Amino acid sequence: AATRTFSIIKPDATRRNLTGAVTKMLEDAGLRVVASKRIQMSREQAEGFYDVHRERPFFGELVDFMISGPVVVQVLEGENAVKANRDVMGATNPADADEGTIRKTYAESIEANSVHGSDSEENAANEIKFFFNDDELVG
């Protein structure tokens, strides 16, 4: 059955005008954009979103990066959406990502890695709720 996941097109990608190119790769992977908005995250929003990483050494830089420019938050729907999205994103570090993945194609570094995608259906539901109201999702 179709499920949903949550995606962010990060500031390194919006800066290089890659919103369409990244979205095309998501669509070509069988995912459908059922909600999308371009936002400037506040520091408080970015810290809240990445709360699980608060104790990591890279947390401060990650937050600074995520508020360095606009991002596009999206809800994606498709068969096994979480896995389909993670497969097309590729590994967190672009140096480890497979050919043909978004991060291999576009990411600049492990931090400026162009996209975020939920790592489980439970996290997807929470991350969707963090940015969207139910009436903003149009299947």
Catalytic residue among 116, 117, 127, 131: 116
For residue 53, indicate whether it is catalytic: no
Report phi then psi at 82, rounded to 5: -60, -50
Which residues, at least 6 apart from 95, have a Cβ–Cβ distance to it below 8 Å?
110
* Nearest distance, CB of residue 118 and ligand CMP, angstroms: 9
Query: Is 86 labeled as ligand-binding?
Result: yes
DSSP 52: G
Considering the complex, state which of residue 55 and residue 135 has its C-beta at the smaller distance from ligand CMP.
55
Binding site for ligand CMP (CB under 6 A): 53, 58, 62, 92, 110-111, 113, 116
Considering the complex, state which of residue 58 and residue 130 has its C-beta at the smaller distance from ligand CMP.
58
Amino acid at 77: E
Query: Is 104 labeled as ligand-binding?
Result: no
d(CA 121, CA 39): 23
The residue with tokens 């890279």 is: 58
Residue, CB closest to ligand CMP: 116
Report phi then psi at 32, rounded to 5: -115, 130
* Nearest distance, CB of residue 55 and ligand CMP, angstroms: 13
Whether residue 132 contacts residue 7, with contact meaning beta carbons closer than 8 Å, is answered with no
> Which are the catalytic amino acids?
116
> Annotated binding site for ATP: which residue ranges?
10, 58, 86, 92, 103, 113
Q: Annotated binding site, which residues?
A: 10, 58, 86, 92, 103, 113
